[in-house]
Structure 1
Amino acid sequence: MEPNTDTLHACCTLDRVDHVDTHLLATDQPHSRTPEQWAREILEGPSAAMRARLTAGWTMLGLRVHHRGPDAIAGWPIAHRDAECILLQGDSLLGLTGQLVARVTDGGVEFATFVQLANPVARTLWTRVLPTHLEIVDSLLRGAAERAG
């Protein structure tokens, strides 16, 4: 089963989407957690070393995702949350805006990254980090699935 890109895109609020990648965390009990709880498991559940790697990568991209408290997940501010999905948004000083969406469905947990690139610097930077981004997202989802049992 593949994630429903159209439904995930409906959660996105970017004016323009220059990149999107969607993933499915396959689990027998997707509704055992809310979208927020799944997002926390995916982004805050990994080892301290992986969380430090994530933070370093986001900082390198210039993303302002160092927020704390109940309105942030792994430093990403929560832009929207409801029973169906959660939307996190990070803005970069370099012209990149990223949104992460987690959505719970009967088939599993859909997770997407939406990126808006405002200038050539942001486009070049994103092109360079994209392969690593995709590997890390895959790793994060596999880890969350294992931790969820």
Structure 2
Amino acid sequence: MEPDTDTLRACCTLDRIDHVDTHLLATDSARARTPEQWAREILEGPSAVMRARLTAGWTMLGLRVLHLGPDSIAGWPIAHRDADCVRLQGDSLLGLTGQLVTRVTDGGVEFATFAQLDNAVARAMWARVLPTHLQIVERLLREAAARTR
């Protein structure tokens, strides 16, 4: 089963999408949690070491994701939440806007990263971190699946 990329894109509000990657955490118990609860499990459930690594990476990209409180997840402000999806948004001083979308379906939990890259600096930074980003997202989903079994 593959993530429904078109439906995930419909959750995105970026003016322009320069990058998208979608992932599926296949689980029979997806509907046992809300999209917000899944996003929290994926991004806040990892070890302290991994959370520090995530924050360091986001900071390197200039993303302002150090928000606290119930309207943020792992420092990312919640831009939208409903029964179907939660969308987090981080804006960078370097010209990158990122949105993380978590969506729950009968087949599992879909997780997508959308990026708008507004200049050459943002494009170069994103190109540099993309392979690591993809590895980390896969790891975050694997670990979230293991923690929720």
Structure 1 residues 101-140: aligned runs within 5 Å = 101-140=101-140
Residue identity opposite 2:97 in structure 1: T
Give the TM-score normalised by structure 2: 1.00
What's the counterpart of residue 78 of structure 2?
78
Distance 1:148 1:31 in 2: 12
SS of match in other structure, 2:77: strand
1:60-98 CA distances to partner (integer Å, 9 max, x unpaired)? 000000000000000000000000000000000000000
Unaligned runs of 5+ in 1: none
SS of match in other structure, 2:59: helix
Aligned residues: 149
The CA RMSD measured in Å over matched residues stands at 0.3
SS of match in other structure, 1:104: strand
Structure 1 residues 1-149: aligned runs within 5 Å = 1-149=1-149
- Residue 28 of structure 1 deviates from its aligned partner by 1.4
SS of match in other structure, 2:79: strand
Distance 1:121 1:15 in 2: 18
Runs of 4+ more than 4 Å apart: none
Give the TM-score normalised by structure 1: 1.00
SS of match in other structure, 2:65: coil
Residue identity opposite 2:123 in structure 1: R
